[in-house]
Amino acid sequence: MSEQSVPILRVEGFTKHFAEVKANTDVHLDVRAGEVHALVGENGAGKSTLLKMIYGVYRPDAGRMLIDSTPVTPGSPAEARALGIGMVFQDLRLVPALTVAENVALSIPRGPMLNLRRVIREITAESEKHGLSVNPRALVQHLSIGERQRLEILKVLMTGARLVILDEPTSVLAPQEVSALFGVVAHLRDQGFGILIVTHKLNEVRAIADRVTVLRAGNTVLVGVEPADYTNDQLIESMVGRAVPPLVAERVTVAKGEGSEPALRISGVRSKGDHGHEALKGVSIDVYPGELVGIAGVAGSGQRELCEVALGLRATTTGTVSICGVPSRTPASAIRAGAVNVPEDPVADSVVARLSVLEHMALDGRALPRKRLGIDWAAVRTRTHALNEALGLRIAPHHRRVSELSGGNIQRVVLTRELGIHSSLVVAAYPSRGLDVANVRRTQEILLDRRSSGSGVLVVSEDLDELMSLADRIVVMHDGHISGEVSANAFDRQHIGRLMLGGAA
């Protein structure tokens, strides 16, 4: 990337306040043609808000932006697209029941004479040009998350974008999918596109970004610096305001003698997935009180169905589930037996956007404190305050609507609700998804605390580093089976990798 290349985008002094929340204050940023520019910062730092102003979703209270040195004020995403700006949101916005081509057709403004065959031809040409393989005739509901994301990027390119904005594209991806995405991003950079990308992972900043801008509490604290000039500790300090040392977990080997009852026992379970295929093909697993078991596997190997079966959220065709020795088949019986659930995608599975933080804290499926004929909100408030103090994930104020919270702040509400109470079994799918460095660290400490206080903890993650730093045992799944198991003193990345591909133990 040459010094003299003109910025496609320049942001000068953007400010956006939502009532008492100063989401952005006097923010400066520029993105050049042919560069990947990373935007980093804590949960709630204002990253998504900044991107939404650039993309015309929000109007800034103050400041201006220039495209190719010309001041512009996109009043809507359509106007931003006309200026050559495209954005892929944190939550993908596709219609699952339609095909790839139909989804693309929906996003391209055309006359009434829409010709689907032409759209298919264009998709094929455009996807070949950028190495973004997607089948135009496939139904979106059958695509993996990685494929859906490629489709979103393709849509952006087909609307003529030169500036491509990606808000946390990797937080939902498995490591192999991240490499594929970065291949596409590097290709776009080489073609002269400008890319503005949000991530919480510093190794990703180093892998892909030419420059990085750090937001903290709505202010730009580093603007367009080169990552190589900073250590990870310096970047973390600029984001969080203090150092965050890496986690060092003490491992345990739980005695599984006669008479000790597992917190979770899954025996010989078969179960169907969403598309009628067999997702679990005879799976058995025990999680004992006081142990943390990690589930590794390539996405779609049955991990999600395993969690759902454990929690009574998915029926089995054969086999049994018991929690602390009590057979469990329904969500109600799992909750009664003391199970808690950190779902894979809280925004989709677990939150009701219009409700407040406090109402979400009450929505945990357990008995609510009651007063006369209604809910005792004062008691819910006291309990929420106590949980927040105990866990230290610093959830947003009680009255805030969840729809107004940042992605990571929603995850923190769900984590506080589920991990704050005493439980015999914790089932956590991708617990650190969307969290910033400090909150990832805190969440991992909480999971280890749960384990030390006697819960059986099951953690699903595609991030092997995370599992290797937390788990006492890692169980590897492949194609609906358990392909092997490795204990903490024998963790070996290559070996686990082979098991993930179905290789023999």
Ligand X SMILES: Nc1ncnc2c1ncn2[C@@H]1O[C@H](COP(=O)(O)OP(=O)(O)OP(=O)(O)O)[C@@H](O)[C@H]1O
Q: Which residues form the interface with ligand X (CB under 6 A)?
A: 18, 21, 23, 41, 43-49, 404-409
Phi, psi of 212 (to 5 degrees): -140, 140
- Closer residue to Mg ion in complex, CB, 227/434: 434
N- to C-terminal Cα distance for the chain?
46
Total residues contacting Mg ion by CB under 5 A comes to 3
Between 51 and 306, whose beta carbon lies closer to Mg ion?
A: 51
Kindly tell me which residue out of 48, 171, 424, 439 binds Mg ion, with binding defined by CB under 5 A: 48
By beta-carbon proximity to ligand X, the closer residue of 213 and 423 is 213
Can you tell me which residue has the tokens 């979400």?
360
Report what 45 binds from Mg ion, ligand X, none; CB cut-off 5-8 Å by kind.
ligand X
Q: How many residues does the chain have?
A: 505
Nearest distance in Å: CB 431, ligand X: 15
Closest to Mg ion by CB, 74 or 407: 407
User: Which residue has its beta carbon closest to Mg ion?
Assistant: 48
Q: Judged by CB, which is closer to ligand X: 85, or 482?
A: 85
**Backbone phi, psi, residue 292, to 5°:** -115, 115
- Provide the minimum distance between the beta carbon of 213 and ligand X in the complex, in angstroms, as a whole number: 12
What does each C-alpha distance from 94 to 88, 149, 193, 204, 501 come to in angstroms? 11, 10, 24, 26, 30
Give the tokens for residue 208.
Answer: 């892909």
Q: Which does 262 bind (CB under 5 to 8 A by kind): Mg ion, ligand X, none?
A: none
Say if residues 193 and 34 touch (Cβ distance below 8 Å).
yes
Residue span 127-156 as binding mask against Mg ion, x where in contact by CB under 5 A, dash where not: ------------------------------
If the CB atoms of residues 292 and 435 are measured against ligand X, the closer one turns out to be 435
406 binds Mg ion (CB under 5 A): yes
Q: What one-character-per-residue DSSP string does 194-233 give?
A: EEEEE-S-HHHHHHH-SEEEEEETTEEEEEEE-GGGS-HH
Residue nearest to ligand X (CB): 408
Which of Mg ion, ligand X, none is residue 46 near (CB under 5 to 8 Å by kind)? ligand X
Residue of 226, 172, 217 lying closest to 199 (CA atoms): 172
440's CB contacts (< 8 A; 6+ apart) are 200, 432
The structure tokens listed for 269 are 């379970």
Strand, coil or helix: 278: strand
Question: Measured from the CB atom, is 345 or 376 closer to ligand X?
Answer: 345
Smallest gap from residue 287 Cβ to ligand X (A): 30
SS3 180: helix
What does 99 bind: Mg ion, ligand X, none (CB cut-off 5 to 8 Å by kind)? none
From ligand X, Mg ion, none, interface partner of 41 (C-beta below 5 to 8 A by class)? ligand X
Give the interface with Mg ion as residue ranges (CB under 5 A).
48, 406-407
